[in-house]
Amino acid sequence: MVSGARAVERCDRLGLPPYSDSADGLYRAYLTPAYAASQQLVARWMAQAGMAVRIDAAGNLIGRYEGTGDGPPLIVGSHLDSVRDAGRYDGPLGIMLGIECVAALHDAGERLRFPIEIYAFGDEEGSRFPLAMLTSRAVAGTLDAQLTEPADADGVTLFQAMAAYGEAVGAAVPRDFDAYRQARHPGAFAYLEAHIEQGPVLEADGLALGTVTGIAAQRRFGIKVGGRAGHAGTTAMTLRRDALAAAAAMILTAEQEALAAGGDRVATVGTVTAGPGAANVVPGSAMFTLDVRAARDADCAALADVIVDRFGHIAAVRGVTLSVDALHSLPASPCDPQLMTLMDGALAAEGLPVRRLVSGAGHDAMILSALCPTAMLFIRCREGISHNPAESVLPEDADLAARTMLRFIKSLEDIHRA
């Protein structure tokens, strides 16, 4: 029997030290001690569910449950890392629900015609290094060929962090991207990800679950504004090249352009820093990130272009320099029509209404779609709140999700060609 309550309890347990790098709110970053400790606990749960457990070259944790055939596996997964001051369910709930499904098969002594692999991806959020979806891109084989090694805010590079992590878990780890790319998966026949909706639609419709139709496109930029530092008391307003004031004008412009674009188009500035960072110094430098999303690639590109163009005008008028670094561009990713129909069927078989909806949030599924057809199941979360400690999910909704997932997984036997 699956247990949604146990899946939720396990997410709650992972929400506290030593499974969080911070005692003040949940933060679990890729390759940190909290990440390593969390993997060891999840690995125990995977083993209890009858899985063989391993860590791949990108530091992902993988549990494998053999089938009667040895063809390409079904991958079920989500991410173990979190944003800063995170909720407990964004990522881990999808992993725990996957473990529940395998545990139910194992307890019943049941094997399907295909193996099942549960992936706990290590870096979906990009909350430590300035690259997101790093570990699922390694699995999908879509890491950029000329990727330069990123460093975190403390200057720790990816492979320095990997070396410390390898030491902590006693695993051989890659020292460069060639070795890191060994995480590439040889081939899967489908990917399933269950995830909280992180939006208000299901709750507004009074529904526990929904079939995801696709994931919105997203473009992310690092913006640097260069002005001239000066004395706050003696630099006349008309002579200033205030980098932070210019950045503020740009940030408000991004909001105005997204509001004007309307529909599902959104733009967010989530991080801002200014230098030198003193109350009595006119800021000479400012840096911020810009995240632009839309259901359609063309709409996302158009909004990003108009915002960056407006930034250029603001920089010219204010006499500051502007540099725009494209951090990533993830195309919109439709879910597989045949798998969506099977998911609708599993919902109906559970006696639930069938509801389809698009995802504004990004997920590892948008990366795995380069490897195999993908399906996603959304779970209602209170007021759609996410990326926030107030994130909340009902155990009974998690139970419905696990039951629906198990039905969906079993229905794959009808379409699986060994």
Confirm whether residue 79 is marked as ligand binding: yes
Q: Cβ 68 to ligand HGY, closest distance in Å?
A: 36
Q: Cβ 130 to ligand HGY, closest distance in Å?
A: 13
Which residue, chain included where needed, has tokens 């290590």? 122
Phi–psi pair at 108, nearest 5 degrees: -90, 0
List the one residue out of 61, 62, 60, 92 whose CA is nearest residue 78: 92
Which of 183, 307, 335, 361 touches ligand HGY (CB under 6 A)? 361
Which of 21, 56, 117, 124 touches ligand HGY (CB under 6 A)? 124
Which of 21, 81, 117, 125 touches ligand HGY (CB under 6 A)? 125
The reply on whether position 77 binds ligand HGY by CB under 6 A is no
Q: Cβ 219 to ligand HGY, closest distance in Å?
A: 12
Nearer to Mn ion by C-beta: 77 or 283? 77
Taking CB under 5 A as the criterion, which residues in 31-90 touch Mn ion? 90
Beta pairing class for 374-379 and 190-196: parallel
Nearer to ligand HGY by C-beta: 345 or 360? 360
Task: Please give the C-alpha separations between residue 22 and each of 15, 26, 128, 154, 385, in angstroms, as whole numbers.
Answer: 10, 6, 13, 16, 21
Q: Which stretch binds Mn ion (CB under 5 A): 91-99, 201-209, 318-326, 409-417?
A: 91-99
Cβ partners under 8 Å of residue 205, min gap 6: 355
Could you give the CA distance from residue 121 to residue 139 in angstroms, rounded to a whole number? 9
Which residue, chain included where needed, has tokens 């499904």? 101
User: Is the Cα torsion angle 317, 319, 320, 321 positive or negative in sign?
Assistant: positive
From ligand HGY, Mn ion, none, interface partner of 339 (C-beta below 5 to 8 A by class): none
Q: Map residue 281 onto helix, strand or coil.
A: strand
Nearer to ligand HGY by C-beta: 125 or 344? 125
CB 259: neighbour CB atoms within 10 A? 11
Which of 51, 362, 372, 391 touches ligand HGY (CB under 6 A)? 362
Nearer to Mn ion by C-beta: 182 or 271? 271
Nearer to Mn ion by C-beta: 90 or 123? 90
How many chain residues are in contact with ligand HGY, going by CB under 6 A? 4
Q: Cβ 276 to Mn ion, closest distance in Å?
A: 32
Q: Map residue 266 onto helix, strand or coil.
A: strand
Partners of 212 in beta bridges: 357
Q: Is the peptide bond before 18 cis (omega within 30 degrees of 0)?
A: yes
What distance separates the 2 farthest-apart alpha carbons in the chain?
79
Q: Map residue 374 onto helix, strand or coil.
A: strand
Confirm whether residue 328 is marked as ligand binding: no
Torsion angle, CA of 31/91/72/354, rounded to 10 degrees?
-170
Q: Is the peptide bond before 276 cis (omega within 30 degrees of 0)?
A: yes
Q: Cβ 206 to ligand HGY, closest distance in Å?
A: 25
Confirm whether residue 240 is marked as ligand binding: no
As given in the structure block, the two tokens for residue 153 are 């805010």
From ligand HGY, Mn ion, none, interface partner of 152 (C-beta below 5 to 8 A by class): none
From ligand HGY, Mn ion, none, interface partner of 362 (C-beta below 5 to 8 A by class): ligand HGY
Return residues touching Mn ion (CB under 5 A): 90-91
Return residues touching ligand HGY (CB under 6 A): 124-125, 361-362
* Residues in the annotated binding site for Zn(2+): 79, 90, 125, 195, 387
